[in-house]
Amino acid sequence: MSKGLKKLFSSDGWWAVMLIAPAFLGTFIFIILPIFASLGLSFVKWNLISSPAFVGISNYTELFSEPLFYKVLWNTFYYAFATAILSIIIPLILAYALDQKIKGSGFFKGAYFLPYVTPMVVIGIVWTWIFDPNYGILNWLLGVGDNIKWLYDERFAMPALIIVSVWKNIGYNMIIFLAGLQAIPESVNEASEIEGATGIKRLFYVTIPLLSPTLFFVSIMTVISSFQVFDLIYMMTGGGPENSTMVMVYWLFRQAFEYFNIGKASAIAYVLFAIILLLTLFQWATRKRWVLNE
């Protein structure tokens, strides 16, 4: 018996196995197994009532031949990239401002972080009221009456959702950036001042390069979460008007639980998975060009 197996079958080894077994079983049953099961389902026709029928790649070919797929794909990219870009730039600016030791920074940290921990149900209800063209406060503040029907107009529905999503994400990303800024040694800032790098110059040539590992992490996580949006769409627009806010995950949900087209829903899931995987690999492959110490 090898040395490794002897350690495993020792009393300490069995205790280790017993301790990690629940976590391993939970991961296998609730994550790994469903992943492979859904992959298998993407090759069948099944409505939850009749027996599954193997159809090969027809779910995928049907998906790619459907005009709605390309509209949903565009909506998803539009929402994800707009949300990701704004959810990185705005929190970075706020974090940099709060890092300057301004008065009342503790209050602002809590105020900006509060939306992130607020339940999406509450956020959906409040912002639906804010955007309402008849009695919502936003049109009143803008002085446009009921001329802008935010959630009921194809032109404004998606921008409205992006506004809400960015507002919710600001706090979390800001805290991450703030932690990264505070991890920069004070000696570096002092040295940059001696060299004459102050203000904007120091921000772009000293602070942001040193913050690049944090930026890399935030960009990956924000892009992934933006492509997986569901609850905001479900609460505020239901994919409308005229499918203008229909995104991949919400379309998947409707195919599975409204039309009971489980095979097609699984195919949508794996197309989305492929998109997110490729984008993540692209970000990872390009990190050496801009992430410090890579």
What's the mean pLDDT in 178-203? 76
Q: pLDDT per residue over 204-223, tens digit each?
A: 777 888 889 999 999 999 99
Q: How far apart are the C-alpha atoms of 248 and 237, rounded to whole Å?
A: 14
28: which DSSP letter? Answer: I
pTM: 0.88
Which pLDDT value is given to residue 168?
Answer: 94
| Angle subtended at Cα 208 by Cα 206 and Cα 213, rounded to the nearest 5 degrees | 120
Round to whole Å and give the CA distance between 235 and 151. 11
| CATH class of the domain defined by 62-290 | mainly alpha
9 has a pLDDT exceeding 70: no
Residue labelled with tokens 């008007």: 241
Every domain of the chain and the residues it spans: 3-58, 62-290
* 164: nearest Cα among 215, 75, 239, 231: 231
pLDDT at 267 over 80: yes
Check whether 203 has a pLDDT greater than 80: no
Q: How many residues does the chain have?
A: 294
pLDDT in tens, 12-57: 666 777 778 888 888 889 888 988 998 999 999 998 888 889 998 9
Cis peptide leading into residue 91 (ω within 30°): no
Percent of the chain having pLDDT more than 90? 54
pLDDT tens per residue across span 56-80: 899 999 999 999 999 999 999 999 9
Confidence at 290, pLDDT banded by 50, 70, 90: confident
Q: Output the pLDDT for position 260.
A: 92
Average pLDDT over residues 233-237: 94
